[in-house]
């Protein structure tokens, strides 16, 4: 498909759909955002029995309205983008497809499949929430900080997992089945509930020794939470202090370094980089 020339209808559509600096582009974005939110709410409401019984028909009609709207959006995006295949197989392209496919599929398989399969497919529509990712442009700094923290966070998660496995095994030995610690996996589940300070209370230690070990785990969990927080704080601070990425590229003329990422000419001697 040829690159859309200026003033052509495809170029105009591209501007409306992919950019937000024209009034019609902004309107498109706002309408779409509301449609995404509304369609997610419809999926959620459908799962409430009393709502389904009373307003099922309206919800199904709304569902089809949103599906058709998102289908038009999907087709338009394919038509007016420069490289359609790249879009279709990109993360956003798959999300856009996933947000319309379940409604069509449920149309064909109804009656021939078990209820669970239908319900699962229909609930896949909840992935529409990811369509919102397109509008979270501010997420970049956060993403960069999290990416830079990844090795440290992996170590942190590895330590937490080791800790809860050891703690769970000890609690299984100390408390036993009478207190609800029926197996190691269940004890590990309890250790996670405790260490992360969630604390449901469905399983709780009954013996003094178990409560003592639980206290130690809690205070450790209380102190451990400081670690990921510290990591992300430091990375965010670094990510913000270096808002412009400086490349390691050296000027071919004067060999000076420190050029910005978007620099085309050397800022010291003016030679093309």
Q: Which residues contact 215 (CB under 8 A, 6 or more apart)?
A: none
- Structure tokens given for 140: 């970049």
DSSP string, 149-186: HHHHHHHHHHHHHHHHHHHHHHHHHHH-GGGT--SHHH
The yes or no reply on residue 193 touching a second copy (CB under 8 A) is yes
Q: Which of residues 24, 61, 90, 196 is near a second copy by CB under 8 A?
A: 196
Q: Which of residues 38, 72, 107, 139 is near a second copy by CB under 8 A?
A: 139
Closest to a second copy by CB, 98 or 273? 98
Name the one residue in this structure whose structure tokens are 């279709």.
88
The yes or no reply on residue 6 touching a second copy (CB under 8 A) is no
According to DSSP, residue 272 is labeled B
The yes or no reply on residue 38 touching a second copy (CB under 8 A) is no
Q: Which of residues 56, 82, 199, 258 is near a second copy by CB under 8 A?
A: 199
Closest to a second copy by CB, 223 or 245? 223
Q: Which of residues 45, 62, 76, 105 is near a second copy by CB under 8 A?
A: 45
CA-to-CA distance for 196 and 174, rounded, in angstroms? 21
Spatial contact of 36 and 132, defined as CB atoms under 8 Å apart: yes
Q: Least distance from C-beta 86 to a second copy, angstroms?
A: 25
SS3 at position 260: strand
Q: Least distance from C-beta 210 to a second copy, angstroms?
A: 10
The yes or no reply on residue 231 touching a second copy (CB under 8 A) is yes
Q: Among residue numbers 85 through 124, which ones bind a second copy (CB under 8 A)?
A: 119-120, 123
Q: Least distance from C-beta 1 to a second copy, angstroms?
A: 33
- Structure tokens given for 166: 């050891």
CA-to-CA distance for 38 and 129, rounded, in angstroms? 10
Q: Least distance from C-beta 88 to a second copy, angstroms?
A: 23
CA-to-CA distance for 259 and 270, rounded, in angstroms? 12
Spatial contact of 45 and 63, defined as CB atoms under 8 Å apart: no
Q: Least distance from C-beta 179 to a second copy, angstroms?
A: 11
Q: Least distance from C-beta 31 to a second copy, angstroms?
A: 18
Binding mask 148-177 for a second copy (x = CB under 8 A): ---xxxxxxxxxx-x--xx--x--xx----
């Amino acid at each position: 498909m040829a690159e859309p020339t200026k003033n052509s209808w495809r170029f105009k559509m591209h501007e409306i759909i992919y950019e937000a600096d024209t009034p019609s582009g902004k309107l498109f974005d706002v309408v779409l955002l509301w449609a995404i939110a509304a369609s997610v709410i419809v999926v959620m409401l459908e799962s409430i029995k009393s709502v389904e019984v009373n307003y099922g028909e309206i919800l199904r009609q709304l569902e089809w309205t949103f599906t058709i709207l998102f289908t038009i959006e999907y087709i338009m995006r394919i038509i007016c983008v420069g490289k359609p295949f790249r879009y279709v197989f990109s993360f956003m392209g798959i999300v856009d497809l996933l947000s319309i496919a379940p409604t069509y599929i449920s149309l064909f398989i109804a009656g021939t499949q078990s209820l669970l399969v239908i319900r699962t497919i229909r609930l896949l529509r909840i992935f529409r929430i990811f369509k919102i990712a397109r509008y979270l442009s501010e997420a970049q700094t956060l993403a960069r900080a999290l990416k830079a923290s990844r090795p440290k966070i992996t170590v942190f998660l590895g330590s937490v997992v080791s800790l809860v496995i050891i703690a769970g095994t000890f609690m299984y030995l100390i408390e036993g089945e009478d207190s609800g610690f029926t197996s190691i996996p269940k004890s590990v589940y309890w250790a996670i509930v405790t260490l992360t300070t969630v604390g449901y209370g469905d399983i709780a230690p009954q013996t003094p020794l178990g409560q003592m070990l639980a206290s130690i785990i809690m205070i450790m969990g209380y102190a451990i939470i400081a670690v990921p927080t510290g990591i992300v704080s430091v990375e965010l601070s670094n990510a913000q202090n270096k808002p412009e990425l400086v490349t390691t590229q050296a000027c071919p003329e004067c060999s000076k370094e420190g050029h910005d990422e978007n620099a085309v000419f050397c800022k010291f001697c003016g030679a093309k980089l």
